[in-house]
Amino acid sequence: MQPRYRFYATILDAFWGYLNSDVIWDKYWGWSENPPHTPEEFHEQQFQELINCINRKPFDSEAADKGTAFNELVDALIENRKPNGMDVERNKDNTCYTVVYNDRTFVFPISLCREFADYFKGALTQQRVEAILPTVYGNVLVYGLIDELMPTSVHDIKTTGSYTVGKFKDHHQHLVYPFALMQNGSDVRTFEYNIVEFNKGGYVVDTYTETYVFNPERDIPILTNHCEEFIRFLEENRELITDKKIFGGEN
């Protein structure tokens, strides 16, 4: 049975950001006497970024590359293999990895990488999950890539330049992944975001954990409502959307 729509977890985050652009603007620029844009301009910018995201327009992001590089280092240590798709060297003191990925250079303390790899010992890495979510507009295939799957918990590794408590509470990975696992016969409800905060110089500030426990009675309606709202947005803006996959097709 073909789903009418296909949504990956982080596109649902992008849509949430668009819906809450006023709140986000207020958080970052509400105090500023000279903000870089008005709330209306920011909303328009968020709209365009969301459309680009839906259309899978390539974007260049140092922050995203840093996260990918760190994740791959951790996975390589867990699986006792060489990292894929990047050059890695240790420094003379054997305290840091220098990684060249996508023509960018990042430095990570070996102790940090080992701390994460030890924590995820035995994990299945980069596990694709998917499941059908029924909605009033038809079936939606929700899917995504779990960074680290443990026997009793799901983990997503995050790197960030600034951390505040609850930063990821409105994200959708902790709804989509446990839901998909449950629909596929694995009842794993505990979800952790395992977070590293780096300062502007690239040094580790601290590590944090946000834990969410999936509650089907509470969380499936939240996920369903958000998907239905997203479907309404997609149908209203269908003429701007070139990606066929989101409508259940192939590109």
What digits encode the pLDDT tens for the residues 189-246? 999 999 999 998 888 999 999 999 999 999 999 999 999 999 999 999 999 999 989 9
Pick from 179, 159, 172, 145: nearest CA to 65: 159
Between residues 191 and 248, the one the model is more confident about: 191
Q: What is the pLDDT of residues 49-84, one digit of tens each?
A: 899 999 999 888 999 999 999 999 999 999 999 999
Which residue has better confidence, 132 or 38?
Answer: 132
Burial of 201 (0-12, 13-18, 19+ CB in 10 A): exposed
pLDDT score of 200: 86
Whether the predicted pLDDT of 33 surpasses 80: no
Structure confidence at residue 23 (pLDDT): 63
Is 90 exceeded by the pLDDT of residue 1?
A: no
3-state secondary structure of 75: helix
Task: Give the integer Cα–Cα distance in Å for 157 and 194.
Answer: 5
pLDDT classification of 30: cutoffs 50, 70, 90 = low
Q: Contact 195/162 with Cβ under 8 angstroms?
A: no
The string over 142-151, giving b where at least 16 C-beta atoms fall within 10 Å of a residue's C-beta and e elsewhere, is: bbbebbbbbe
**Element spanning 223, H or E:** helix 216-236
- The pLDDT of residue 90 is 93
Question: How is residue 83 annotated by DSSP?
Answer: P
Instruction: Band the pLDDT of 36: cuts 50, 70, 90.
Output: low
Percent of the chain at pLDDT exceeding 70: 91
**CA dist., res. 57 & res. 26, Å (int):** 27
How far apart CA 79 and CA 101 sit, in angstroms, is 20
